[in-house]
Amino acid sequence: LEVGDISVLSFGDRVDLIHPFGQPFSHSSGEKALSEFSFEQKTTEWAKLIKSVIQMLADARNSKSVRSRTSSGQQVLQLVFIISDARMQQDRDKVARWCREALHRGQLLVLLVVDSPDPKHSILKLRSVTYPNGKLKIVQYLEDFPFPFYIIMRDLSQLPEIVADTLKQWFELVQHCS
């Protein structure tokens, strides 16, 4: 098992590369990356984000440095953490298809949902409205959620622990499947 490169993106109505693969991720580059986040974009183009992530990971997988580090036949698995409030108004079916495509390519997308600390405003209380065949349908927001792997966080101070636990489970899964 080898841990490779890290990259950081910001996203909303557009996707911006903040820290590319292939560059060391240090304290100073982490500070610089964090300073690039504005949290001011009003919408998230989820399908565009997932499509961009899939392509970026494919490019990284096919890069010369990754090919030189992996022996022939050795599978490269890639893990992505997406941190968001998970509010999604666009086509959930399209996002779900892109999530399945990522998984098919060995790219595990884990959505870390930053939820409201106030239970009245929690994502768990949200409802989603659709009109299949012209009839009103109201369901729990997460009932048809397109991300198969997500974690709901109400306290951001738990982020390091949640990421560490997720990484531990990821490594166990990779070792078990090897």
Sign of CA dihedral 157, 106, 145, 37: positive
- Cα separation of 35 and 80, whole Å? 20
Question: % helix / strand / coil in the chain, to the nearest 5?
Answer: 40, 20, 40
Beta strands in the chain (DSSP E): 8-11, 15-19, 78-84, 107-114, 127-130, 137-140, 150-153
Query: pLDDT tens across 74-97, in order?
Result: 677 899 999 999 988 778 899 999
- Cα separation of 106 and 125, whole Å? 32
Segment holding 64, helix H or strand E: helix 64-69
Query: pLDDT tens across 108-160, in order?
Result: 999 999 999 999 999 999 998 888 899 999 999 999 899 999 999 999 899 99
Query: Looking at residue 123, what is its pLDDT?
Result: 95
To the nearest whole percent, how much of the chain has pLDDT over 90?
A: 53
**Can you give the pTM of this predicted structure?**
0.85
Name 84's bridge partners: 113
- Reference 150, options 107, 112, 108; nearest CA is 112
Q: Could you tell me the two tokens for 31? A: 């500070």
Residue tagged 């990421």 (tokens): 163
Residue 102: partners with Cβ closer than 8 Å, 6 or more residues away:
50, 53, 54, 57, 80, 108, 109
Q: Tell me the one-letter amino acid at 5.
A: D
